[in-house]
């Protein structure tokens, strides 16, 4: 993989993606957004044996401290919509990716950084992580899905408070609110994410992909999640993996899933 702003390593079935703009606190510019789109539509799909993806930020200060404010001054109403739509495209790809994607939040996750973390399927935060949507400080609002995803995770009242005051919350409060899955000591974010992915990797790959799809469907207004669950259950039950899972259970051994 050849990127300008992303560093990637692939080991033991786990793709580790590092937003690599440390001097800019890993701010998301349009180049980085384009690289994320390419990663999740092309490069990641070509990896044999991919079990999951971890996204983190370079350095110790920031996961992603926001979007690149320098790019905002060039925008008018129409180009602003294109700008936001591009971010939505990238983050929707992450949210709907059929392998688990975990954000390893190792510092500030603000604005676009918070939005990127929320697009991932799970979030592991270091003890010094900070989350927030401070866009109103700049006279704008979140543009990469923040108004919707934060409300989904923490509820309307708290989402209103965080968006309207631009306050940051600490990792322990993010855990209490349900925004993150785990809080770990500083430096152990990626290790914990790998631990989770290693556990997920022992399960049926087809079932994992279907579970992601069905859970996401709960939040899609034009999709009946119950109907999709019924269809997906039927699709799963007719796979080799399902037969292997049942046999392994009866034989009291670990299942050897093939992803088919």
Characterize 92-112 residue by residue with b for buried, 16 or more Cβ atoms within 10 angstroms of its Cβ, and e for exposed: bbbbebebbbbbbbbbbbbbb
**Distance between CA 233 and CA 251 in Å, rounded?**
23
In a 3-state reduction of DSSP, which class is residue 168? strand
**Distance between CA 59 and CA 17 in Å, rounded?**
13
Catalytic residue, candidates 135, 188, 189, 240: 135
- Are 37 and 90 in contact by the 8 Å Cβ rule? The answer is yes
- Which residues, in sequence order, are bridge partners of residue 11? 14
> Which token pair is 184?
């770990």
Catalytic residue, candidates 35, 115, 231, 244: 115
Q: Alpha carbon of 91 to those of 38, 115, 161, 173, 239: distances in Å?
A: 12, 8, 23, 24, 30
160, containing H or E segment = helix 156-165
Residue at token pair 């180009």: 79
Does the annotation count 115 as an active-site position?
yes
- Are 109 and 153 in contact by the 8 Å Cβ rule? The answer is no
**Distance between CA 49 and CA 45 in Å, rounded?**
10
Does the annotation count 244 as an active-site position?
no
Q: Which positions are catalytic?
A: 115, 135
């Amino acid at each position: 993989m050849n990127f300008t702003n992303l560093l990637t390593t692939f080991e033991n079935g786990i793709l580790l993606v590092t937003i690599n703009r440390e001097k800019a606190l890993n701010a998301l510019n349009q180049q980085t957004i384009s690289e994320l789109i390419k990663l999740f539509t092309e490069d990641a799909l070509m990896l044999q044996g991919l079990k999951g993806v971890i996204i983190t930020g370079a350095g110790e200060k920031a996961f992603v401290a926001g979007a690149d404010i320098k790019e905002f001054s060039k925008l008018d109403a129409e180009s602003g919509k294109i700008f936001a739509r591009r971010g939505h495209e990238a983050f929707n790809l992450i949210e709907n990716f059929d392998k688990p994607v975990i954000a390893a939040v190792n510092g500030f996750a603000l604005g676009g950084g918070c939005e990127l973390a929320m697009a991932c399927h799970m979030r592991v935060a270091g003890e010094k992580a900070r989350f927030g949507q401070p866009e109103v400080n700049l006279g704008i609002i979140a543009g990469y899905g923040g108004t919707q995803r934060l409300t989904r995770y923490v509820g309307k009242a708290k989402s209103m408070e965080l968006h309207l005051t631009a306050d940051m919350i600490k990792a322990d409060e993010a855990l209490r609110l349900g925004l993150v899955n785990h809080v770990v000591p500083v430096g152990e974010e990626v290790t914990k994410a790998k631990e989770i992915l290693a556990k997920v990797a022992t399960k049926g790959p087809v079932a994992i992909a279907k579970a992601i799809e069905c859970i996401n469907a709960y939040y899609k207004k034009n999709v009946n999640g119950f109907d999709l669950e019924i269809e997906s259950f039927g699709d799963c039950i007719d796979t080799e993996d399902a037969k292997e899972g049942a046999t392994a259970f009866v034989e009291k051994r670990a299942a050897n899933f093939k992803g088919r």
